[in-house]
A and B are shown apart, each in its own frame.
Chain A
Amino acid sequence: EAQVTQNPRYLITVTGKKLTVTCSQNMNHEYMSWYRQDPGLGLRQIYYSMNVEATDKGDVPEGYKVSRKEKRNFPLILESPSPNQTSLYFCASSLFGTVTDTQYFGPGTRLTVL
C-alpha cells in the first residue's frame, strides 16, 4: 500500500531532550516536507526537500533540523525542544513537489514538550 509513515505517533518529552521524528514514504517520491499544525494557525511548513541531499527552509524552520540522505526517509530533528514546539506534526511527500503533483500526508505525530 502506498503510504507515508511517521513514528512515533505520540510523544511526550521534556525541555531540552533531543528527539527525532521519523518519516518514510514508499512511493519513490522526490519531494518531502514537514508541517506543524496549531489551533488557529493552520498548517505551517517547517522544511522541505526536493531530492536527496537538497533541503530548504519553509516558513517556520527555527528550532528544527532535517536531513535527506535517502530518498524514502526525511527525519525531523529537534535538538533542544521547547514548550512552544508542542504541536501536531505532519510529514508529506509528492512526486516532484510541483502544483500538478498530489501531496500525500502521513497520519501525524502529536508532540508535547513539558
Chain B
Amino acid sequence: TQLLEQSPQFLSIQEGENLTVYCNSSSVFSSLQWYRQEPGEGPVLLVTVVTGGEVKKLKRLTFQFGDARKDSSLHITAAQTGDTGLYLCASGTYKYIFGTGTRLKVLA
C-alpha cells in the first residue's frame, strides 16, 4: 500500500519568511495533488502535478514534482497570514490516498 509522508508536521513562522514542505512516497506516484484546508472547511485543491520534474507556480507558491515521481515539495515565498492552514498532498485516480498534512501557522 502506498503511503504518503509529509514533513514537517507543524511549522510556525513569521510573516515574510520562506518555507518548504515535503511529501514523500514509498513508491512512484502516478500524479500528485496539493490541497490547503482551513479550519472548519473542506480541503481546496491548489495544484496537480503529473510529469516527473514538473514545476508549477501559483503566485507565491511553487510546486515541484521529483524526477523519479516519488517526492514533491511546496515552497512558499514571503509567507502571509492568509497562508495559515493545513497543507495536504494526495495521490490517486478514483481511489485516493492523502498524506497526514503539514499544519502551517504564519504569525503577523
Binding site for B on A (CB under 8 A): 4, 31, 33, 35, 40-45, 48, 50, 56, 58-59, 90, 92, 97-100, 102-108
Q: Is the CB of B98 within 8 A of A42?
A: yes
A100 to B41, CA, bound (A): 23
Specify the chain B residue showing the minimal Cβ separation from A31: B94
With known contacts A42-B98, A42-B101, A108–B41 Cβ distance under 8 A:
yes
| Residue from the list A31, A44, A59, A105 in contact with B44, Cβ < 8 A | A105
Q: Is the CB of A107 within 8 A of B42?
A: yes
Binding site for A on B (CB under 8 A): 1, 30-31, 33, 40-45, 48, 50, 88, 90, 92-101
A-B pairs with beta carbons under 8 Å apart, 30 shown: A31-B94, A33-B96, A40-B100, A41-B100, A42-B88, A42-B98, A42-B99, A42-B100, A43-B98, A44-B97, A45-B96, A45-B97, A48-B94, A48-B95, A48-B96, A56-B94, A58-B95, A59-B95, A90-B42, A97-B93, A97-B94, A100-B48, A102-B45, A104-B45, A105-B42, A105-B43, A105-B44, A106-B42, A107-B42, A108-B41
| Residue from the list A45, A92, A106 in contact with B95, Cβ < 8 A | A45
Q: Is the CB of B101 within 8 A of A108?
A: no
Q: Give the Cβ gap from A1 to chain B, nearest Cβ, in Å.
A: 15
A41 to B4, CA, bound (A): 11
Q: How many A-B residue pairs have CB under 8 A?
A: 64
Residue from B1, B33, B96, B100 having most chain A Cβ neighbours under 10 A: B96
Specify the chain B residue showing the minimal Cβ separation from A98: B93
Q: Is the CB of B95 within 8 A of A56?
A: yes
A105 to B90, CA, bound (A): 14
Give the residues in chain B near A107, CB-CB below 8 Å: 40-42
Q: Give the Cβ gap from A33 to chain B, nearest Cβ, in Å.
A: 7
| Residue from the list A4, A40, A99 in contact with B93, Cβ < 8 A | A99
A46 to B54, CA, bound (A): 30
A99 to B50, CA, bound (A): 8
| Residue from the list A50, A100, A108 in contact with B94, Cβ < 8 A | A50
Q: Is the CB of B94 within 8 A of A43?
A: no
